[in-house]
């Protein structure tokens, strides 16, 4: 049984604090291992990648086989059943449509000092997408990571996916094809991250790396950060369901289990104002676990990290939600907007009784790559903005420089930066009102 916290217990605050501080990441000492792999790939390129692939994925290939070609992708597609491909296509269409709204607008204006100011957005040239192999190789994740890059306008989208013992999920290749991935390589682990960051003979380097992976992949991304961009480092998944007693306990039990089945360190938390409902959900979970394929994982997660929090009033929930800053938040109440308006920190919110979190995992449209481990306090789910960057621009003419330049000179001198001051003052001495300058800057 998972822990149960009752608001009216005198010990409630301490217990809630313990829940907040519970560690779910196992402590790995992977730093040095990853460091070694990264520098080896940076130095020896393909040769190193091939050696690690042989060692970790038990896959003995030559450099010519690193890339997965069009014929192999077509073959994989042919192996997938029609209805699943149709479902994948619907998901892709809806994800694209939602993300298209995220494309930022350029803007520019001339302010009252006569200075032309603005921002211009552009796509990253090349992005790398890490897709885990084996059990966690999900076609839906390929769509969720690849489509925002394509909507952003990334011209070269490279995907790496390890194929332990040569095995790959054909749906993953079908999803890559559907999403418009430009290059695919059968490599994984820290060596794949290194290849993406440094490049090898077979794989030109990319500018940013996204996608989930195990502890080695996460550490590799952390270490190459700076040389390339990375997305947020993902921790184990989590769901927080806020539900009143009018819900069907079986529905809420299924929602909690849908997170628990991901991973033995996933976390499912129920907040309710009805203790009897909480027990009914707990009973339902035991029932549903019996017929679940992934019952070993789900029951370990529920037992070790699950929690049920019983409040006197659901209006107490927002404060606790904000402290947990959950990746996924379901508001299974009659009027979810009342609670939603009071909540600041959550990756994605699922409103009302007919919006199970799983619908967002696949087909709703918003991204399912979301901040975990309380990172929703400071970060957002994956979006088109993650594959674009902003260039600001400034254009002065002689007149406008005369208006704002003296303050710059003053501040530069106060900071002891003489050349800064000089680069402005040298133009003030000669530039004010020049016709030539107007022409060049404001045409």
Least distance (Å) between residue 180 CB and a second copy: 19
What are the residue ranges of helices labelled H in 183-274? 189-198, 215-224, 249-260
Least distance (Å) between residue 9 CB and a second copy: 26
Within positions 380 to 419, which residues make up the interface with a second copy, using CB under 8 A? 380-381, 383, 385, 389-398, 400-401, 404-408, 410-412, 414-419
Within positions 179 to 218, which residues make up the interface with a second copy, using CB under 8 A? 207-208
* Both tokens assigned to 214: 């195990």
Asked if 119 is part of the footprint of a second copy (rule: CB under 8 A), the reply reads yes
Interface region with a second copy, contact rule CB under 8 A, candidates 47-55, 71-79, 99-107, 176-184: 99-107
Total Cβ atoms within 10 A of residue 391? 10
* Both tokens assigned to 160: 């790496």
Binding string to a second copy for residues 34 to 73, with x set by CB under 8 A, is what? ----------------------------------------
Q: Do residues 396 and 110 make contact, with C-beta atoms less than 8 angstroms apart?
A: no
Give φ, ψ of 348 to 5 degrees: -145, 145
Residue 247 bridge partners (DSSP): none
C-alpha dihedral (35, 158, 134, 22), degrees to nearest 10: 60
* Both tokens assigned to 321: 């939600």
| Active site annotation includes 442 | no
Distance CA 364, CA 348 (A): 12
Distance CA 382, CA 367 (A): 6
| Active site annotation includes 183 | no
Distance CA 244, CA 401 (A): 62
C-alpha dihedral (70, 76, 79, 83), degrees to nearest 10: -90
Interface region with a second copy, contact rule CB under 8 A, candidates 5-13, 43-51, 181-189, 286-294: 286-294
Residue appearing with tokens 């997938």: 80
Phi/psi class of residue 112: alpha, beta or left (left: φ > 0; alpha: ψ in -120 to 50)?
alpha
Interface region with a second copy, contact rule CB under 8 A, candidates 51-59, 187-195, 219-227, 274-282: 219-227
Active-site annotation holder among 261, 327, 330, 357? 327
* CA angle 76–81–84, rounded 5-degree value: 105
Q: Do residues 245 and 234 make contact, with C-beta atoms less than 8 angstroms apart?
A: no
Least distance (Å) between residue 64 CB and a second copy: 26
* Both tokens assigned to 378: 């400071």
Residue 367 marked as a ligand binder = no
Q: Do residues 401 and 179 make contact, with C-beta atoms less than 8 angstroms apart?
A: no
Binding string to a second copy for residues 349 to 368, with x set by CB under 8 A, is what? xxxxxxxxxxxxxxxxxxx-
Residue 51 marked as a ligand binder = no
Least distance (Å) between residue 60 CB and a second copy: 28
Asked if 421 is part of the footprint of a second copy (rule: CB under 8 A), the reply reads yes
Asked if 30 is part of the footprint of a second copy (rule: CB under 8 A), the reply reads no
Interface region with a second copy, contact rule CB under 8 A, candidates 1-9, 45-53, 63-71, 85-93: 85-93
Total Cβ atoms within 10 A of residue 77? 16
Name which position in 18, 54, 90, 204 contacts a second copy (CB under 8 A).
90
Least distance (Å) between residue 140 CB and a second copy: 6
Distance CA 174, CA 161 (A): 13
Tell me the site size for a second copy, rule CB under 8 A: 135
Least distance (Å) between residue 308 CB and a second copy: 17
Within positions 250 to 269, which residues make up the interface with a second copy, using CB under 8 A? 250-251, 254-255, 257-258, 260-262
Residue 328 marked as a ligand binder = yes
Within positions 158 to 177, which residues make up the interface with a second copy, using CB under 8 A? 171
Residue 109 marked as a ligand binder = no
Asked if 335 is part of the footprint of a second copy (rule: CB under 8 A), the reply reads yes
Active-site annotation holder among 99, 238, 284, 328? 328
* Both tokens assigned to 201: 């003979």
* Both tokens assigned to 157: 């989208």
Least distance (Å) between residue 379 CB and a second copy: 6
Asked if 443 is part of the footprint of a second copy (rule: CB under 8 A), the reply reads yes
Q: What residues are annotated to the active site? A: 327-328
User: Which residues participate in the annotated binding site for NAD(+)?
Assistant: 130, 191, 214
């Amino acid at each position: 049984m998972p822990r149960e916290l009752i608001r009216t217990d005198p010990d409630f605050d301490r217990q809630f604090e313990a829940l907040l501080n519970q560690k779910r990441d196992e402590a790995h000492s992977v730093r040095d291992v990853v460091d070694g792999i990264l520098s080896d790939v940076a130095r020896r390129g393909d040769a190193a990648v091939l050696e690690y692939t042989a060692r970790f994925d038990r896959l003995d290939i030559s450099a010519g086989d690193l890339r997965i070609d069009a014929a192999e992708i077509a073959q994989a597609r042919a192996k997938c059943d029609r209805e699943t491909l149709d479902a994948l296509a619907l998901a892709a269409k809806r994800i694209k449509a939602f993300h298209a709204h995220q494309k930022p607008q350029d803007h520019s204006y001339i302010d009252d000092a006569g200075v032309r100011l603005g921002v211009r957005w552009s796509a990253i040239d090349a992005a790398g997408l890490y897709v885990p192999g084996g059990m966690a190789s999900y076609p839906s994740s390929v769509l969720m990571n690849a489509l925002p890059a394509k909507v952003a306008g990334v011209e070269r989208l490279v995907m790496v996916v390890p194929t332990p013992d040569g095995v790959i999920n054909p749906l993953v290749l079908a999803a890559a094809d559907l999403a418009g991935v430009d290059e695919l390589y059968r490599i994984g682990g820290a060596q794949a991250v290194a290849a993406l960051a440094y490049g090898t003979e077979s794989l030109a380097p990319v500018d940013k790396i996204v996608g989930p992976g195990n502890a080695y992949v996460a550490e590799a991304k952390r270490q190459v950060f700076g040389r390339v961009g990375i997305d947020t480092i993902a921790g184990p998944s989590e769901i927080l369901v806020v539900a009143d007693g009018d819900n069907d306990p079986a529905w809420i039990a299924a929602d909690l289990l849908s997170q628990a089945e991901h991973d033995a360190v996933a976390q499912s938390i129920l907040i309710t104002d009805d203790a009897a409902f909480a027990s009914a959900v707990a009973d339902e979970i035991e029932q549903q676990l019996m017929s679940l394929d992934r019952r070993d994982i789900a029951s370990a997660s529920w037992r070790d990290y699950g929690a049920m929090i019983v409040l006197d009033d659901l209006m107490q929930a927002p404060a606790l939600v904000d402290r947990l800053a959950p990746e996924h938040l379901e508001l299974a109440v009659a009027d979810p907007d009342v609670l939603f308006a009071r909540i600041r920190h959550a990756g994605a919110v699922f409103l009302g009784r007919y919006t199970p979190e799983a619908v967002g995992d696949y087909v709703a449209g918003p991204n399912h790559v979301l901040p975990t481990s309380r990172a929703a306090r400071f970060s957002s789910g994956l979006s088109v903005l993650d594959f674009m960057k902003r260039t600001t621009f400034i254009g002065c003419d002689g007149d406008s420089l005369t208006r704002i330049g003296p303050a710059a000179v003053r501040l530069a001198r106060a900071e002891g930066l003489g050349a800064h001051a000089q680069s402005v003052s040298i133009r003030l001495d000669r530039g004010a009102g020049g016709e030539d300058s107007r022409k060049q800057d404001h045409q």
